[in-house]
Amino acid sequence: MTKTNHTHDPSLKSWLEQANQEDCHFPIQNLPYGVFNSADNPDKRVGVAIGDQILDLSVLENTSQLPVPAGTFARPDINAFMGLGPDVWHANRAALSALLGQDNAVLRDDDVLRWTALVPMAEARLHLPIRIGDFTDFYASREHAKNVGTMFRDPENALMPNWLHMPIGYNGRASTVVVSGTDIHRPRGQIKPPACEAPLYEACGKLDMELEIGAIIGMPNRMGQPVSVKQADEMIFGYVLLNDWSARDIQVWEYQPLGPFQAKAFATTVSPWVVTCEALVPFRVDGPAQNPTPLPYLVQPGGFNYDLDLEVSLRPDDTDVATTICRTNFKYMYWSSAQQLAHHAAGGCAMRTGDLLGSGTISGPTKDSYGSLLELSWNGQNPIDLQDGATRSFIDDGDTLVITGWSRGGGYRVGFGEAAGKILPAVNFP
């Protein structure tokens, strides 16, 4: 487990003044990785966010400033860099922290190099930062599982018998994971209204979001090779915001006996910046007490959760007014990402660099901290009020959902930016 080091020092400042603002998501203590291109250079390449700028790492790798092989960052994803392993991750973070430090003149005072290597975020287009081989989504918030179980079964049997013994998950679709800002069409599927004897094929009427965090696998394990929770934690490169869009009326008809399928396969939105595990070290905390004690392969040797504030806003198409509909925290998760990964590999499953693990909906203990509209409106029984006077039980066409999040340090925050998506009408069946 990585420990705090000089790159986490709250007193660190950058010569890029915007990065030193207390509410900036991308201070020198963060340095998240992403993929971008720009009008003057259409090639996709890897960069690091610092303040309101992107540091083009494909430029710096050609100057011997970074401890990586040539060509590592002149690529449309960060997979090659992740595959170099934790020692290189750490060394590259240290090198970037030094280059961007306020007293380092190497980049600051070289007008040509600085002009070439820095791209304003406002002039860049951000892309999906990883090449995703597989996507697995979990169901790991006790509050969320209890709410859903109470809603569709009863409070006494809200949690299924296996829920407290292992992280529950299902295999999702990597092909429809998209970067923030990608519009999403309302899905169609089989829906069985209560008054109908047979299902209908029609547009989803109960479209929902799910507030999640995505863990990015940096290092693989071999097929047949289980890993401990500690090893699993060391395999994770970093995290993104994740919205696993959900068609609730399709899901309720299809999920038995094998779980979600079309209701989850149509779209998953992730934020464009991957915040590294090393950047989040100062914010590690213990998760909720686990009772009963998990089987030995799932026992955590320390705190593996993160104190990470999360918010969701909803903005209808006909207004500029967005309403914050949820505020919660990643620390509430019953099963940590490391436990999820250890369980995923426990039967011999081979995890690969670039694989994505969705945490599952993150709900807290209060009504305003529920991470889905299903819970916030209690399946439509209690519509939520928006600031423009409208109400919502589920998502309407034209609505834009935005997830954001950050961990608070001493005078700085390690932020994730945004995971945003707008819902378009369903595509007509041919």
**Mean pLDDT over residues 157-176, rounded?**
96
Kindly state the tokens that stand for 331: 């620390």
pLDDT single digits (tens) 296-345: 999 999 999 999 999 999 999 999 999 999 999 999 999 999 999 999 99
CA nearest 94: which of 35, 22, 173, 28?
28
Contact in structure between 137 and 211 (CB atoms under 8 Å): no
**Mean pLDDT over residues 175-196, rounded?**
97
Please give the Cα distance from 278 to 8 (Å, whole number): 9
Domains and CATH numbers, the chain: 6-127 (2.30.30.230), 135-424 (3.90.850.10)
Per-residue pLDDT band for 178 (boundaries 50, 70, 90) equals: very high
CA nearest 335: which of 147, 172, 139?
139
> What's the pTM value of the predicted model, to 2 decimals?
0.97
Contact in structure between 4 and 282 (CB atoms under 8 Å): yes
Residues known to be catalytic:
144
Please provide the size of the chain in residues: 430
Distances (CA, A) of 231 to 330, 342, 345: 21, 8, 11
Contact in structure between 55 and 38 (CB atoms under 8 Å): no
DSSP string, 363-411: --SSGGG-SBHHHHTTTTTSPEEPTTS-EESSPPTT-EEEEEEEEE-SS
Per-residue pLDDT band for 153 (boundaries 50, 70, 90) equals: confident
